[in-house]
Amino acid sequence: MEAGTRGPLNRISAFWDTSALVPLLVRQSNTSRALAVYKTLDVVVWWATPVEIASAVARLLRTGKISTDDFAKSRNLANALFSSWAVISPTDAIRATSMQLVERYDLRAADSLQLAAALLWCGDAPRGRIFLSSDQKLHECGTSLWFRCKALIAVGVLAVLIKVPEGQRRCWCPTHLADAPVP
């Protein structure tokens, strides 16, 4: 996979969880879908996302799911892409929100920080904002917090919340499309 032009300027931004970015770097079942979405949306990430990506790709190498050549290519591609992403830096507010999230939901610390950063990014007003993740638990927590999307996703499937006309949002999964009216 090679980095290419990403389309016109002034596109809609989306918050990308690490799990939605890894398929851009390593061939997976949802790589083509992730790449198609990547070409249409600007990327906003949490400050630690590059570390999480490095960890995920190194784990794939250690477990034999990718070769050393694939590892080197994905590391180089990740380094090239990082510079084009908007980054949410760590703050006391993110830490406080993350602590509330782990008390309320069954989230790992890193996932709670991702979700807290996404909430800061949208000013705690996520209506019409896009959050991408292929982690089912993180998707479910995000849904219960702000998306109010009826669709559940299977682990490993890229989920995208998109804004559609007439005040409706849709939760898109490769296997189905479910409407969820915005209150």
What are the residue boundaries of the structural domains of the chain, listed by start?
Answer: 13-181
Query: What is the pLDDT at residue 179?
Result: 32
Question: d(Cα 120, Cα 86) in Å, to the nearest integer?
Answer: 13
CB-based contact 30:157 (threshold 8 Å) = yes
3-state secondary structure of 23: helix
Q: For 38-50, give the DSSP string.
A: HTTSEEEEETTHH
Instruction: Please give the chain's pLDDT, 183 residues, in tens.
Output: 444 445 455 678 888 989 889 999 999 888 888 888 888 889 999 999 999 999 999 999 999 999 999 999 999 999 999 999 999 999 999 999 999 999 988 999 999 999 999 999 988 877 777 888 888 888 777 777 754 322 223 333 334 443 333 343 333 322 222 333 332
* Residue 110 CB contacts under 8 Å (≥ 6 apart), including other chains: 48, 52
Token pair recorded at residue 38: 């990547």
* Strand-strand pairing, 13-16 and 168-173: unpaired
Question: d(Cα 150, Cα 146) in Å, to the nearest integer?
Answer: 12
pTM of the complete model: 0.75
Token pair recorded at residue 90: 């760590």
Q: What is the pLDDT of residues 57-88, one digit of tens each?
A: 999 999 999 999 999 999 999 999 999 999 99
The number of beta carbons lying within 10 Å of the beta carbon of residue 38 is 21
Which of 103, 109, 122, 120 has the alpha carbon at shortest distance from 51? 109
Which of 43, 42, 24, 41 has the alpha carbon at shortest distance from 33? 24
What's 9's DSSP letter? S
Which of 26, 102, 111, 35 has the alpha carbon at shortest distance from 67? 26
CATH class of 13-181: alpha beta
